């Protein structure tokens, strides 16, 4: 929502009054008006040395290395404008990339956001979107540092997350060793349960629906895991079994998950027994962090033990193969 | 084109034979098969510490700061698959972001590429695209370090360029001062002339059409300009007058361009007098670098003097306002 009062945006030679002057969509605002608005709506923090408005951003990288990841959020595929508020979309866009940064054990520093949209998209939608982006970046300690704008027939987003390793090695997918324990920080399956509820036309309970619309990754658990000596880590975006499968493949180990440890009574209550197990094992988009640690590491309470690493290949549940697809494949799904 | 012989791609537990096994499109390859293929087709260089295949990439940032920029390339808007080969699209995608990095005075180090495509897109198209990406990255001294894949009804690309400032300050748009000279490295207007030719159904002369399909920014001129003390710099992506307008606005100066200095006989020969001036002054997408330097800097020959900086506001041509739109606006254009 555009705040009451007048927002004056400097756009080259002209000032555009976004509230009083009748500028209501992107076609009227124009590309350079939009860039000016984004600049005023997304103030940069201490990690950003040169922010929105130049050819590129400049961010701090005190470690001498930079962690970088990029992700699409495409309307109709990753979000629906009739389900998600513009602020929800901003939160989700930031979370999707910044969780990947945290999953390397890095501290998020910045976000670049490429936005393509129809010319008739309301400027108020963009305003809400930037509020969600900024709020989620603030949760992670990062700022929006730059981006790109273009025109498209639907809202297309590509978000790039950047981060700093603070002197530690990146936590890769390839370091899990037989004997390690598997632990997760954050929820499992709630985003998938929320999607199932929305698909059924329901909007409650809020805690499940919100998990789908506005995931809330535990960013600081990423650097925490690195400090604790995590041997591998990944964010749960495709589904727990699929993502643990990436660790199993990269580390050449077998990962076994305890179904009792991952069950979630809230999901069971609202979605039933069968959906509960399917959601927690194969539902993505919670953007929680799952990591392996050497036995004996004293894990803080938010890290919940859910399994173990053994010699072998692939992922099992309670020692047995899971009889279904482990997660999402964009081209086959 | 897929090379003759067998390309074996490791994709989780399975090996996919991309040539002999009948895998011809993305739907058959699947998302994780595609990621495996991209990993094998895009070997990373010395600037990439962790490349494709983890949650995020890790790149060198020896300066302690990182330059970062992101850009869309959308089918139908930024390229057409019937005009551009897949390799052309790869070159253009890399050039678009890496030129922005160079325009800050930075040395390009890496590229992240988000690719969304229809499930029936041929794997051979992706192969050609990666060849173009890799070749253009090599011209700039960078490597593809990571990305994202998704499904869409047309080819959508979002490319993020990263770079290192090597101890110098970034060259911003805001540093031009009255008395500076304006100089350009690279061609002006040829990409626009090439677009006009393609739109008219022509494919010759190759030097103009190629400028549109496969721009060739002078990347090393960016750090060179920084070392020479450039006071401001931008890459010509929206059009010379529009881009100099960004410098004039940010620096609060007037920039005057000499039309005699920017004319290009090759464009005049093939497109006529009127189109020549319009192309060189308002045509974007050459991704040349235009910079301002203090008077008296001994510029290498590839920097061609094209104007001067004065007190005032905006951009003039031969001392007069230009009677037309200065360049491209995505939402109004």
Which band of pLDDT confidence, cut at 50, 70 and 90, is reported for residue A14?
A: very low
Q: Do B104 and A30 count as a contact with CB atoms less than 8 A apart?
A: no
Q: Do A58 and B67 count as a contact with CB atoms less than 8 A apart?
A: yes
> Please, which residues have CB within 8 angstroms of residue A118's CB and are 6 or more apart in sequence?
A26, A151, A152, A153, A154, A155
CB A25 within 8 A of CB A123: yes
Q: Do A150 and B65 count as a contact with CB atoms less than 8 A apart?
A: no
Q: Which of A77, A174, A331 sits opposite B31 (nearest CB)?
A: A331
Q: What's the rounded Cα separation, in Å, for the pair A125 and A131?
A: 10
Q: pLDDT over 90 for what percent of chain B?
A: 84
φ/ψ region of A75 (left if φ > 0, alpha if ψ in -120 to 50, else beta) reads: beta
| pLDDT higher than 90, residue B91 | yes
pTM score of the predicted model: 0.92
Q: Which sign, positive or negative, has the C-alpha torsion A181, A182, A186, A188?
A: negative
Q: Does B158 touch chain A (CB under 8 A)?
A: yes
Q: For A230-266, how does the pLDDT look when each residue is reduced to its tens digit (9 = 90+)?
A: 999 999 999 999 999 999 999 999 999 999 999 999 9
Q: For B132-178, how does the pLDDT look when each residue is reduced to its tens digit (9 = 90+)?
A: 999 999 999 999 999 999 999 999 999 999 999 999 999 999 999 99
State the pLDDT at residue B325: 75
A113 closest CA partner among A125, A99, A128, A130:
A130
Q: Does B98 touch chain A (CB under 8 A)?
A: no
In Å, how far is A9's CA from the nearest CA of chain B?
14
| pLDDT higher than 70, residue B290 | yes
CB B262 within 8 A of CB B312: no
In Å, how far is B98's CA from the nearest CA of chain A?
10
State the pLDDT at residue A330: 60
Q: For B194-244, how does the pLDDT look when each residue is reduced to its tens digit (9 = 90+)?
A: 999 999 999 999 999 999 999 999 999 999 999 999 999 999 999 999 999
Which band of pLDDT confidence, cut at 50, 70 and 90, is reported for residue A52?
A: very high
Phi–psi pair at A321, nearest 5 degrees? -60, 145
Q: For B231-258, how does the pLDDT look when each residue is reduced to its tens digit (9 = 90+)?
A: 999 999 999 999 999 999 999 999 999 9
CA dist A54 to A12, A139, B170, B173, B284, Å?
13, 26, 10, 6, 17
Q: List chain B residues with CB under 8 Å of A170.
A: 49-50, 54, 56, 58
What are the DSSP calls for A3-52, one per residue? PSS--EEEETTEEEETTTS---BHHHH-HHHHHHHHHHHS---TTEEE-B
Q: Do A69 and B59 count as a contact with CB atoms less than 8 A apart?
A: no
- Separate counts of helices (H) and strands (E) for chain A: 11, 14
Q: What is the dihedral of CA A165, A169, A173, A175, to 10 degrees?
A: -160
In Å, how far is A161's CA from the nearest CA of chain B?
9
Q: For B29-78, how does the pLDDT look when each residue is reduced to its tens digit (9 = 90+)?
A: 988 888 889 999 998 899 999 999 999 999 999 999 999 999 999 999 99
Q: Does B110 touch chain A (CB under 8 A)?
A: yes
Which band of pLDDT confidence, cut at 50, 70 and 90, is reported for residue B126?
A: very high
Q: List chain B residues with CB under 8 Å of A254.
A: none
Residues forming beta bridges with residue A122, ordered by sequence position: A25
Structural domains in chain B, CATH included, are: 8-164 (3.30.1330.10), 181-317 (3.90.650.10)
In Å, how far is A331's CA from the nearest CA of chain B?
5
Overall average pLDDT of the A56-62 stretch? 98
Q: List chain A residues with CB under 8 Å of B119.
A: 331
Q: Does A16 touch chain B (CB under 8 A)?
A: no
In chain B, which among 186-245 make CB contacts under 8 A with chain A? 233-235, 245
The residue of A32, A36, A66, A116 whose CB has the most chain B CBs within 10 angstroms, and thus the best one to mutate to test that interface, is: A66
Question: What is the average pLDDT score of chain A?
Answer: 91
Q: Do B61 and A65 count as a contact with CB atoms less than 8 A apart?
A: yes
ω into B202 cis (within 30 of 0): no
> How many beta-carbon contacts under 8 Å exist across A and B?
239
Residues forming beta bridges with residue A184, ordered by sequence position: A290, A304
State the pLDDT at residue B43: 86
Q: Work out the burial of residue B155: count CB atoms within 10 Å of its CB; fewer than 13 is exposed, 13-18 middle, 19 or more buried.
A: buried
CB A165 within 8 A of CB A63: yes
Q: Do A148 and B49 count as a contact with CB atoms less than 8 A apart?
A: no
Q: Does A32 touch chain B (CB under 8 A)?
A: yes
Q: Do A162 and B34 count as a contact with CB atoms less than 8 A apart?
A: no
In Å, how far is B128's CA from the nearest CA of chain A?
19
The residue of B66, B74, B103 whose CB has the most chain A CBs within 10 angstroms, and thus the best one to mutate to test that interface, is: B66
Q: Does A331 touch chain B (CB under 8 A)?
A: yes
What is the side-by-side order of every strand in the sheet holding A289-293?
A232-235, A289-293, A181-185, A303-310, A254-257, A314-317
> In the structure encoding, which two tokens stand for residue A155, read together?
């809202």
Q: Do A77 and B158 count as a contact with CB atoms less than 8 A apart?
A: no
Q: What's the rounded Cα separation, in Å, for the pair B102 and B171?
A: 9
């Amino acid at each position: 929502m555009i705040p009451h009062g007048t927002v004056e945006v400097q756009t080259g030679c002209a000032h555009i009054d976004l509230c009083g002057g009748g500028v209501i969509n992107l076609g009227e605002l124009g590309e350079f008006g939009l860039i000016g608005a984004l600049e005023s709506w997304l103030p940069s923090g201490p990690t950003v040395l040169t922010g929105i408005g130049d050819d590129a951003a400049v961010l701090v990288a005190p470690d001498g290395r930079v962690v970088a990841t990029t992700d699409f959020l495409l309307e109709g595929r990753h979000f629906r404008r009739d389900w998600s508020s513009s602020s929800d979309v901003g939160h989700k866009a930031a979370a999707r990339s910044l969780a990947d940064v945290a999953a390397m054990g890095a501290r998020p520093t910045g976000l670049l956001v490429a936005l393509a949209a129809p010319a008739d998209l309301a400027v108020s939608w963009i305003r809400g979107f930037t509020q969600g982006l900024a709020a989620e970046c603030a949760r992670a300690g990062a700022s929006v540092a730059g981006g790109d704008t273009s025109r498209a027939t639907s809202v297309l987003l590509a978000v790039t997350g950047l981060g700093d390793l603070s002197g530690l090695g990146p936590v890769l997918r390839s370091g899990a060793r037989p004997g390690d324990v598997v632990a997760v920080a954050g929820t499992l399956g709630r985003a998938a349960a929320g999607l199932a509820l929305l698909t059924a036309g329901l909007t409650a309970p809020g805690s499940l629906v919100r998990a789908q619309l506005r995931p809330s990754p535990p960013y600081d658990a990423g650097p925490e895991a690195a400090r604790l000596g995590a041997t591998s880590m990944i964010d749960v975006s495709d589904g727990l079994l699929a993502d643990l499968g990436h660790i199993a493949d990269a580390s050449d180990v077998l990962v076994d998950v305890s179904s009792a440890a991952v069950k979630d009574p809230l999901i069971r209550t609202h979605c039933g027994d069968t959906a509960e197990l399917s959601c927690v094992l194969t539902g993505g988009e919670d953007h929680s962090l799952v990591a392996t640690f050497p036995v004996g590491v004293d894990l803080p309470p938010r890290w919940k033990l859910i399994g173990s690493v053994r010699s072998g290949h692939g992922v099992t549940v309670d020692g047995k193969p899971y009889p279904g697809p482990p997660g999402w494949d964009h081209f086959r799904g």
